Amino acid sequence: MQLAPQSQLTGKKPAGPRSIADVALGRTLGVGAFGRVRLATCRGTGDVYALKCLKKHRLIETQQVKSIFSEKDILLEIAHPFVVNLFSYFQDRRYLYFALEFVQGGEFFHHLGNVGCLPSAHARFYAGCIVSVFAYMHERDIIYRDLKPENMLLHRDGYLKLADFGAAKFLSTTTSSRGEHGDSSSASSSASSSQRSQRTNSHLRSCFDGPEDGSYLRTDSFLGTPEYIAPELLLNRGHGKPVDWWTLGILIFEMVTGKPPICDEDEEVLVEERVHSTLASRRSARSSRGSSRHHHGESQERTENATSGRDFGRSESLTGCGAGAASSDSPRRRLDYPMSIYQRILGKEKIRFPRHFDPHAKDLVKGLLTVDLERRLGGGQSLETSVAAIRNHAWFRAGLREHWDHSSCAEQAGSGGAARSQSGENCGEEWFKLLEAKVLAPPFLPQIRDKADTASFVENYDETEPEDVPPSVPTDQDPFRSWD
């Protein structure tokens, strides 16, 4: 057993459990292909964790051994206020365990599904949390690669926590990652890449070559979520940090409109119906409440999210260990999904922005969803320049002005006047400082009763599944002997 180094965790953290015998297991928070996540209370201290339990034999069968070691190393490397903390990790003959921070607000996916779409200011708050995490990770040459609402959790203070680092990777200038998630997936990826390449003209391919001097840190593996896949990843010609900024553009669009900019046509109809229904219920609720303040989480109607089941490849949520299955009438059941989405991405389909889309947010999204890596925001060779271009974008600069305008504190208002009198070029950076210090008021505060409250996790799972007990792995055949 190995404890996560205290110096790499944010603030003073209690020691995590050392074995499965040290915890009392509670309800299941999520279930997926490799195992499940359960509430776990430490017998000695009463501290509560989200215990991620992964079946060894499934990881071995699907050739995910190297991937899970990488996930552990990355979790030990990073310490950021908007990232789920790892406290300890251990194993037995059947499972690998991650004792993770229990983030009680639940999945952002469900909160977004309840309301359909967010006001621009709320979307900016959550997008800012992701920008902060990506900038931090990229400084350490780590890419995330699987941003989506399902992998975002709400802390009890209303701020985001990014979860599930199974798709994350340390970058290298010399190491190719073909086969990092298994030879079979690599072979399948190469075959599909050949077919995709035939449908892509030479001009489009030239947009992804990047510098010839090898200054981009890149990897070659093919994984992610269809609607969030960057075009350079589809071409299987290597990708790096710009893929994360592409996914941020998709996320902002989905938060503001309720759907990704490029998705299956049948799904677009389902999502539009859901969004329109939710907006109608919110208007009705607002009128009945009169002038009471409206938070985006107040709507109690729970509608089925038409964007469930987006995962493929090696992708697991902290709370779900993988996405739930799509409903029987979901377009994701079709055999041509997700190829229809890939074709639209590679075809450089023009993004259609609704009228209510904030102009500054629209400009940022267009910059993030630029095919040419040299022109994509966040895609420049200089990390400092590319991240600064995003953090000081007009959309985030507007956040600082709104903060001072809504502040009731005279002292803050005075500082705000000074900030407004500046040229404005660094207003975005000032807004991020407030965000990272958790000074900004979050759009929504989860209602938490106590440290073991799981009410925000809406899915109910069968806790009695005898067939779910995996076989033990013999010691001489166990590739995880060095795990702890």
What is the set of active-site residues?
146
Place of tokens 């049948």: 266
- Strands (DSSP E) along 171-293, which ranges? none
Omega of the bond leading into 338 within 30 degrees of 0 (cis) = yes
State the virtual CA torsion across 123, 126, 129, 133 in degrees, nearest 10: -90
3-state DSSP assignment of residue 170: strand
The burial of 159, by beta-carbon neighbours within 10 Å (0-12 exposed, 13-18 middle, 19 or more buried), is given as: buried
Structure tokens at 77: 């490397």
Structure tokens at 130: 């992701």
Structure tokens at 48: 């509560």
Structure tokens at 246: 């592409």
Backbone φ and ψ of 433, nearest 5°: -65, -40
Place of tokens 């070659």: 220
3-state DSSP assignment of residue 35: strand
Structure tokens at 34: 């490799």
Place of tokens 């409903």: 327
- The span from the CA of 70 to the CA of 64, in Å, is 10
- The span from the CA of 377 to the CA of 383, in Å, is 11
Per DSSP, the chain holds a count of helices (H) and strands (E) of 15, 10
Q: List the one residue out of 253, 262, 256 whose CA is nearest residue 279.
A: 256
Structure tokens at 226: 């269809």
- The span from the CA of 85 to the CA of 101, in Å, is 5
